[in-house]
Amino acid sequence: MITTVLFDLDGVIRHFDPEVATRAEQRHGLAAGVIGRTAFDGSLIGGVVAGQMSRAEWVERIGDAIGSGDAAREWASQQGRIDPALPALAEELAGRGLRTAILTNGTDTIPAEVAALGLTGMFAPIFNTADLGYAKPDPRAFALVLDALGCAAQSVFFTDDSAGNVAAAAALGFPAHVFDGVEGLRAALRDHGIDVG
């Protein structure tokens, strides 16, 4: 029986405007796409989401790599937007007695970001890989979450926009769904016996 719905944050609940990077690149005379390629290169993103460096250090290293600290800071300053359908779904799930939580490949600033976005208390607990020390799709990240929740993988429905993260969770026994929009998520929840509209 599913007791918890575990959401990814970015790409599911929160979304960023890709045009912010495009405008920063154009304004600072950089090649198109260089900010994203650099920021999410394995050597950089892996360290910050596993808690091995601060977000500020990550942004500084991005700036050094692309040759423009101003462009990196401009890109990194965006808060993103919340898809209002996701908090509404979380409230609906909570009303049916399910726990709604987040597991995000995040940085040391996630608590402040969550508060600024008004998500505090709406999803609980919020698991941040920068605190866990392991990032998705590492099985150790999922194991730490299960230990904290005090339940088996089979009772935690997991959704993420990364197919690799979803595959890793499914391999551990989580009912899991690749997020492709709230209607698809609602259908997947219903397929797993969760009564949502």
Angle at 97 between CA 93 and CA 103, to 5 degrees: 55
Q: Does pLDDT of 182 surpass 90? A: yes
Q: Does pLDDT of 31 surpass 90? A: yes
Query: Do the Cβ atoms of 141 and 165 come closer than 8 Å?
Result: no
Sign of CA dihedral 49, 32, 76, 118: negative
Query: What is the C-alpha separation between 155 and 173, in angstroms, rounded?
Result: 9
Query: What is the C-alpha separation between 38 and 44, in angstroms, rounded?
Result: 8
Structure tokens at 75: 């890109």
Q: What are phi and psi of 14, to 5 degrees?
A: -110, 140
pLDDT of residue 108: 97
Helix (H) or strand (E) holding 43: helix 42-49
pLDDT, averaged across the chain: 96
Query: Do the Cβ atoms of 34 and 25 come closer than 8 Å?
Result: yes
State the pTM of this model: 0.95
Query: Do the Cβ atoms of 164 and 137 come closer than 8 Å?
Result: yes
Query: Do the Cβ atoms of 133 and 152 come closer than 8 Å?
Result: no
Query: What is the C-alpha separation between 146 and 141, in angstroms, rounded?
Result: 9
For the segment 32-79, what is each residue's pLDDT rounded down to a tens digit? 999 999 999 988 999 999 999 999 999 999 999 999 999 999 999 998
